[in-house]
Chain A
Amino acid sequence: MILDEDQVLIKKTLRGERSAYEELMRKYEKKIFSFVIRMVRNEDVAVDLTQDFFFKIYTVMDKYNFEYKFSTWAYRICYNLVIDHIRKNQSQVDSLDDDSISPRDLFASENVSREDGFKNLAREETRDYVWRVVDQIPLKFRELILLRYIQDLKYDEIAAITSLPVGTVKNRIFKAKEILKQEMEKDGMLV
């Protein structure tokens, strides 16, 4: 069986090589932290959850099946960890099952200035704007956008991680993009 780079690091970690696990953490820390912080929208909680994730991965590493991609397995653990936290603190976040979307309510945060309406912003500014809008959309759409673009996963991988049908994953990502486009048009970000 040919092992990929991650799997070699796992083997070494299981043999007790500290440097191998450090390398594995360095490889994933930014993606995991970016995903977590955008899900929970609180830096202290995100740091705690990211650390918990690395502890968890280390603890259950001996149960990892080398036939599957490490990243998918790890993201699933991360996703479950974050969702568990969110469910325990449900009052602080929007509902996971809320199907109704009211874009007007999405942008109450002062981070996104609706009045600005700058036109023809530079590409970088547009990108900053888009990602700030992503932070405001309901969790059920946000989580899929984050898995798709922060973690760079395919639809079937997202479906495996979230336990949703592939069709639902696609539909929600399409819907999320429609919301994002509508908001950008309203703010004059797309001309």
Chain B
Amino acid sequence: MACLSDEKIIALGEGDLNAIEASRSRDHLLVCPACRLAADRYRDLNQSLSRPMFSEPPADMIPHVLQHLYPALPRYTSVIAAIAASLVFLITWIYVYFDFSSSSLIQALRLTADGTSSWLVNIIKAISAVYNAAQAAFKAGNALLNMLLPAPLATVVIAGSLLVFSGLLVFLFIGSMRKKVHAKKS
């Protein structure tokens, strides 16, 4: 039998020959030192290739990808803080708008606060002071507007200011959401 071609030796090493061809090739290798040497060399080469050298990717690669794909969502604490701030704002507004400062409940709270000195009382006092300041500012602003503008127009200006403020908040919120969606898509 003639010497085996390189292709046949490689195919034999890869188990890619049919049973008869493989058997004939193995028989030939037993009697042909040159082909046996070539087969040994391909075997060594295959062994080296079968244990590939992997390259280590940078450690920050996956965190970087994740950061882009999953933009940080607001944490629970910040959501709770936002809800609390909204509640405080709403209560302040109701308190100022309906002028509850003279109501019996508020008066009772004030009297209780005046008579004691615990930390809770100090908090109530602080909140009450903020309410009073906000109420005073609202009244002053209202009086100024009423002085400068006729009554219906002053109301329109106040309503308009509130609308602009709300619009600004909505705009900022939508802007941040669009930014997140864009980051996710990119």
Q: Which of B49, B185, B186 contacts A145 (CB 8 A)?
A: B49
Residues of A within 8 A of B49 (CB): 130, 134, 145, 148-149
CB-based contact A33/B52 at 8 Å = no
- Interface residues of A, dominant DSSP: helix
Nearest chain A residue, comparing its CB with the CB of B53: A131
Check A93 for interface membership: any CB of B closer than 8 A: no
Q: Which of B6, B41, B52 contacts A150 (CB 8 A)?
A: B52
CB-based contact B7/A21 at 8 Å = no
CB-based contact B65/A149 at 8 Å = no
> Which listed segment binds B: A1-9, A48-56, A73-81?
A48-56
CB-based contact B51/A26 at 8 Å = no
CB-based contact B10/A31 at 8 Å = no
> Which listed segment binds A: B56-64, B88-96, B130-138, B169-177?
B56-64
Check B11 for interface membership: any CB of A closer than 8 A: yes
CB-based contact A58/B69 at 8 Å = yes
Per-residue B-contact encoding for A156-191, CB less than 8 Å = 1, 0 else: 000000000000001000100110110011000010
Per-residue A-contact encoding for B32-70, CB less than 8 Å = 1, 0 else: 000000100110111111111111111001101110111
Check A18 for interface membership: any CB of B closer than 8 A: yes
Check A108 for interface membership: any CB of B closer than 8 A: no
Residues of A within 8 A of B27 (CB): none
Residues of B within 8 A of A185 (CB): 41
Residues of A within 8 A of B56 (CB): 30, 33
Check B16 for interface membership: any CB of A closer than 8 A: yes
Q: Which of A29, A58, A134, A149 contacts B61 (CB 8 A)?
A: A29
Q: Which of B41, B42, B57 contacts A29 (CB 8 A)?
A: B57
Residues of A within 8 A of B50 (CB): 149
Q: Which of A31, A127, A174, A181 contacts B11 (CB 8 A)?
A: A174
CB-based contact B54/A150 at 8 Å = yes
* Separation of A178 and B58 alpha carbons in the complex (Å): 34
- Interface residues of B, dominant DSSP: helix
The interface size bin for chain B is: 20 to 34
Residues of A within 8 A of B51 (CB): 127
- Expressed in whole angstroms, the minimum distance between the Cβ of A134 and any Cβ of chain B is 8
Report the number of A-B residue pairs with Cβ-Cβ less than 8 Å. 96
Residues of A within 8 A of B38 (CB): 181
* Separation of A30 and B185 alpha carbons in the complex (Å): 25
* Separation of A55 and B183 alpha carbons in the complex (Å): 11
Per-residue B-contact encoding for A121-137, CB less than 8 Å = 1, 0 else: 00100111111001000
Residues of B within 8 A of A84 (CB): none
* Separation of A149 and B51 alpha carbons in the complex (Å): 8
CB-based contact B55/A178 at 8 Å = no
Check A94 for interface membership: any CB of B closer than 8 A: no
Residues of B within 8 A of A134 (CB): 49
Q: Which of A33, A54, A184 contacts B65 (CB 8 A)?
A: A54
Given the contacts A33-B57, A145-B49, A177-B10, A25 and B62 also touching, CB distance less than 8 Å: yes
Which residues from chain A sit less than 8 Å from chain B, CB to CB? 18, 21-22, 25-26, 29-31, 33-34, 37-38, 46-47, 50-51, 54-55, 58-59, 123, 126-131, 134, 145, 148-150, 170, 174, 177-178, 180-181, 184-185, 190
Q: List 24 A-B contacts (CB under 8 A).
A: A21-B66, A22-B66, A30-B55, A33-B55, A33-B56, A34-B54, A47-B57, A51-B61, A51-B65, A55-B69, A123-B47, A123-B48, A126-B44, A127-B47, A128-B53, A130-B48, A148-B49, A149-B52, A174-B10, A178-B6, A181-B6, A181-B45, A184-B41, A184-B45
